[in-house]
Chains A and B, each alone.
Chain A
Amino acid sequence: MGKTVFIKDTTIGGKDRTRDVYGILLGVLRERGLENNVQLVRVVDIGVYGQGVVVRVLPENFLYTHVEDADIVGIVEQSLIGGKPFAAKLVAEGARQLRIVLRNCGVIDPESIEEYIAKDGYQALAKVLSDTPEKTLQEMKTSGLRGRGGAGFPTGMKWEFTRKSPGAQKYIICNGDEGDPGAYMDRSVLEGDPHSVIEGMIIGGYAIGASKGYFYIRAEYPLAIERIEKALHQCREAGLLGKNIFGSSFSFDVEIRLGAGAFVCGEETALIASIEGKRGYPSPRPPFPSVKGLWGKPTCINNVETLANIPVILLKGGAWFAGIGTASSKGTKVFAVTGKVKNSGLVEVPMGTAIEDIVYGIGGGALAGKSVKAIQTGGPSGGVIPKEHFSTKVDYESLQQMGSIMGSGGMIVMDEDDCMPDIAKFYLGFCVDESCGKCAPCRIGGTQMLRLLTKVTEGEGTPKDLEQLEQISHAMQKASLCGLGQTAPNPVLSTLHYYRAEYDAHVKNKKCPACKCAKLVRFLIMSEKCVKCGMCFKACPVNAISGNRESGYLIDQTKCIRCGQCFEACKPRAISRS
């Protein structure tokens, strides 16, 4: 393979020198008559951020950062001619992803069972079926895999409980209800590698002694449903579902049930009620589903990502899996990194990876011109983690210590423009909308908290309201029937804990430091800075700005809806926001 050189100026702010460096490199190559032997390529993203000019030499994959013009001759002579690293600027590759769950996503055609099989698909099932279910349970316990649906309960133990529960008929359910705002890992796995989840489920069925499985997928995921349907059909054709799989005595089949989009139906007891055709109300546990679940029979409920891990674990062994991650959290976790981040998308990293490596190293940090303030994990059941604590490692315990949770894997990046009481209000509003209303602490407590938070964000709050917020939070945590109500106060408590000053500013000074809360901000044109370009006039969606290019412009505060469009549109920053 000939040499290829990738070039990208990753400096944040300032002039992009990618083209300049490209030109200089080309010149140096021409002097040596090498311009036809080396491919120079300007790339959009080089996987490294804020490290000055970055150059990557392939096929050796030498990575150079903070490259100065004076280094270029050295890189050409050492690496491109000599094939050796140019030591002065060489760096090791930064934070890397490790793909177990997403191993086939974006790699194979999800609608082709042959391509899945070519990637060792269904080998684990074949292996498992030639041994006892107990062996599989043992392997799962060795692996240390914990449920990825939120609670983090050890999967091997859950399987064993279900297996040991008395009863001839048992069920396994795949929870594909994924309702957390900002989370879409499960959708991506169902769409990108449906067979991995199905294989995990068949293995689970064998291990717990179930002959029947259900996919519970939210109806908002039509493509996921279509691909699972197609994959199930292929399995039946190939005899991977049905009677006597691989000639063993094990028979198993799967049906799909659609969720109608209620968040609470992701909760396991509500989900079971929903499959049974009843209203999606949670019920008290115990009895746990592993004892008395679907139609009163022992039932195991696993998350999509949990199941996608299973085939790899059983093929490579529990000990292999247990070698990845931290002492108590094994394997990898997929995060849906979204919000105010450069590269939003899915990221799979080993447990124990630092938040900063995910947000800056892989996510590329804040959007242009902004700075990251915090992340939110765990969705409406989680909390925020300020950037000062980004050295925190992602595993179940560490995140919990920080007052957040792993949750299902949503990771929303927030920047300086995000207001914490407003964020808390958003998540609480979500829970109030989604509360099923069965129990009073959640139904009434949530509504009251939302009322208080609305007061705060509108500048009507009092210090007493903050106290009351905390009191109701604790009551809801203790007394709610299901996880929704028990965890709904978490975003409020965590923002109160880390950003008390921001709440105080709203309550005492009637100010929103992030200039987000519409009732508390004001936009004003500073005539001394204004160049009378009229951009704000054009940008205002409600015609609150009047004037012309001679006399200048004025914002009518009674018409202004505080959307901030003019503020964004004004190039010379002549509009103040306070």
Chain B
Amino acid sequence: MEKLTKDGLEKLRQQHAAADKNYIKVGFSSCGIAAGAQEVYDVLCEEVRKHNADVEIKKCGCVGMCSAEPLVEVRVKNMPRVFYGKVDKETAIKIVEKHVGAKMLLNDRIYDMKVS
């Protein structure tokens, strides 16, 4: 990266400003990693590749619901943005198949806590 100027900073900001894209975020702080975030992340990546799904998988820090880790946030256009908690391998597979693929939210997995 070249040395930033004020204009450069502003340009970068606009370039990376949140685009209206589908994403899956996996909490990758100590709490998430300890609860098994890496496996969930790997499964998600694998499934997305398999289904060629229109979604980007990202890592993020801890959103604060440590007791529900591994925590996965899913945002698909025209659907509510939700958090899946205590995600295991099976749930991760279903997130890609059902939520991202069939546009159906999963039962008994969503933690609807208002964090922001």
Q: In the complex, which residues of chain A have a beta carbon less than 8 angstroms from the beta carbon of B4?
A: 122, 238-240, 246
Cβ-neighbour of A45 out of B5, B58, B66, B111 (below 8 A): B111
CA distance A102 to B64 in the complex (A): 9
Q: In the complex, which residues of chain B have a beta carbon less than 8 angstroms from the beta carbon of A122?
A: 4, 9
**Most chain A beta-carbon contacts within 10 A, residue among B1, B58, B60:** B60
CA distance A240 to B2 in the complex (A): 11
**Most chain A beta-carbon contacts within 10 A, residue among B30, B61, B108:** B61
Identity of the chain A residue whose Cβ is nearest the Cβ of B67 in the assembled complex = A344
On whether the beta carbons of B60 and A45 are closer than 8 Å, the reply is no
**A44 contacts B by Cβ under 8 Å:** yes
Q: In the complex, which residues of chain B have a beta carbon less than 8 angstroms from the beta carbon of A106?
A: 25, 27, 60-64, 71, 73, 115
CA distance A410 to B96 in the complex (A): 37
The smallest beta-carbon distance between B20 and chain A, in angstroms, is 13
Q: Indicate whether A246 sits within 8 Å of B13 (C-beta atoms), given known contacts A4-B80, A4-B105.
A: no
Cβ-neighbour of B6 out of A4, A126, A188, A221 (below 8 A): A126
Q: Indicate whether A117 sits within 8 Å of B115 (C-beta atoms), given known contacts A42-B107, A106-B62, A345-B66.
A: no
On whether the beta carbons of B58 and A109 are closer than 8 Å, the reply is yes
On whether the beta carbons of B116 and A6 are closer than 8 Å, the reply is no
Question: What mask results when residues 93 to 111 of chain A are scored 1 for a CB within 8 Å of chain B, else 0?
Answer: 1001101001011111111
**A56 contacts B by Cβ under 8 Å:** yes
On whether the beta carbons of B30 and A187 are closer than 8 Å, the reply is yes
Cβ-neighbour of A246 out of B6, B16, B67 (below 8 A): B6
**B52 contacts A by Cβ under 8 Å:** no
Chain B interface, >50% SS class: loop
Cβ-neighbour of B64 out of A118, A221, A347 (below 8 A): A347
**A123 contacts B by Cβ under 8 Å:** yes
On whether the beta carbons of A343 and B62 are closer than 8 Å, the reply is no
16 more A-B residue pairs beyond the given contacts A99-B116, A237-B1, A343-B65, with a C-beta to C-beta distance below 8 A: A41-B106, A42-B108, A43-B112, A44-B68, A58-B80, A104-B61, A106-B62, A106-B64, A111-B59, A118-B18, A123-B13, A188-B61, A191-B62, A192-B60, A238-B3, A240-B4
Cβ-neighbour of B111 out of A43, A110, A234 (below 8 A): A43
On whether the beta carbons of B3 and A239 are closer than 8 Å, the reply is yes
CA distance A3 to B30 in the complex (A): 36
CA distance A39 to B79 in the complex (A): 10
On whether the beta carbons of A126 and B25 are closer than 8 Å, the reply is no
On whether the beta carbons of B108 and A223 are closer than 8 Å, the reply is no
Q: In the complex, which residues of chain A have a beta carbon less than 8 angstroms from the beta carbon of B86?
A: 44
Q: In the complex, which residues of chain B have a beta carbon less than 8 angstroms from the beta carbon of A184?
A: 30
CA distance A44 to B87 in the complex (A): 12
**A115 contacts B by Cβ under 8 Å:** yes
Q: In the complex, which residues of chain A have a beta carbon less than 8 angstroms from the beta carbon of B12?
A: 114, 117-118
16 A-B interface contacts by CB (under 8 A): A39-B105, A44-B111, A45-B85, A45-B113, A97-B115, A104-B61, A105-B64, A106-B25, A106-B62, A107-B61, A109-B60, A110-B60, A115-B16, A118-B16, A122-B4, A246-B4
Q: In the complex, which residues of chain B have a beta carbon less than 8 angstroms from the beta carbon of A192?
A: 29, 60-62
| Chain A residues within 8 Å of B, Cβ to Cβ | 1-2, 4, 6, 8, 39, 41-47, 56, 58-59, 93, 96-97, 99, 102, 104-111, 113-115, 117-118, 120-123, 126, 130, 184, 187-188, 191-193, 221, 223, 234, 237-240, 246-247, 342-348, 362
Q: In the complex, which residues of chain B have a beta carbon less than 8 angstroms from the beta carbon of A41?
A: 105-107, 110
Q: In the complex, which residues of chain B have a beta carbon less than 8 angstroms from the beta carbon of A113?
A: 1
Contacts of B91-116 to chain A: CB distance below 8 A: 104-116
Identity of the chain B residue whose Cβ is nearest the Cβ of A346 in the assembled complex = B64
CA distance A188 to B80 in the complex (A): 26
Identity of the chain B residue whose Cβ is nearest the Cβ of A244 in the assembled complex = B3
Q: In the complex, which residues of chain A have a beta carbon less than 8 angstroms from the beta carbon of B27?
A: 106
Q: In the complex, which residues of chain B have a beta carbon less than 8 angstroms from the beta carbon of A105?
A: 29, 60-64
Contacts of B29-73 to chain A: CB distance below 8 A: 29-31, 33, 58-68, 71, 73
Q: In the complex, which residues of chain B have a beta carbon less than 8 angstroms from the beta carbon of A114?
A: 12, 15-16
On whether the beta carbons of B16 and A117 are closer than 8 Å, the reply is yes
Q: Indicate whether A238 sits within 8 Å of B1 (C-beta atoms), given known contacts A39-B104, A44-B109, A47-B112.
A: yes
CA distance A59 to B113 in the complex (A): 15
Cβ-neighbour of A188 out of B62, B104, B107 (below 8 A): B62
The smallest beta-carbon distance between A252 and chain B, in angstroms, is 14
CA distance A96 to B115 in the complex (A): 8
The smallest beta-carbon distance between A178 and chain B, in angstroms, is 12
On whether the beta carbons of B112 and A223 are closer than 8 Å, the reply is no
On whether the beta carbons of A1 and B78 are closer than 8 Å, the reply is yes
Q: In the complex, which residues of chain A have a beta carbon less than 8 angstroms from the beta carbon of B110?
A: 6, 41, 43-45
Cβ-neighbour of B13 out of A93, A96, A120, A130 (below 8 A): A120
CA distance A2 to B103 in the complex (A): 11
CA distance A93 to B12 in the complex (A): 37
Q: Indicate whether A246 sits within 8 Å of B66 (C-beta atoms), given known contacts A2-B78, A6-B110.
A: no
Q: In the complex, which residues of chain B have a beta carbon less than 8 angstroms from the beta carbon of A117?
A: 9, 12-13, 16
On whether the beta carbons of B65 and A345 are closer than 8 Å, the reply is yes
CA distance A420 to B22 in the complex (A): 50
Q: In the complex, which residues of chain A have a beta carbon less than 8 angstroms from the beta carbon of B108?
A: 42-44
CA distance A237 to B9 in the complex (A): 13
Cβ-neighbour of A118 out of B13, B79, B112 (below 8 A): B13
Cβ-neighbour of B112 out of A39, A56, A193 (below 8 A): A56
CA distance A115 to B106 in the complex (A): 29
The smallest beta-carbon distance between A172 and chain B, in angstroms, is 21
Q: Indicate whether A223 sits within 8 Å of B29 (C-beta atoms), given known contacts A4-B80, A43-B110, A106-B60.
A: yes
**Most chain A beta-carbon contacts within 10 A, residue among B29, B63, B67, B73:** B29
What are the 6 tightest A-B residue pairs by CB atom distance, in nearest-first order?
A192-B61, A106-B63, A239-B3, A118-B16, A346-B64, A345-B66
Q: In the complex, which residues of chain A have a beta carbon less than 8 angstroms from the beta carbon of B64?
A: 97, 102, 105-106, 188, 345-348
CA distance A52 to B83 in the complex (A): 22
On whether the beta carbons of B60 and A107 are closer than 8 Å, the reply is yes
The smallest beta-carbon distance between A200 and chain B, in angstroms, is 16
CA distance A184 to B61 in the complex (A): 13
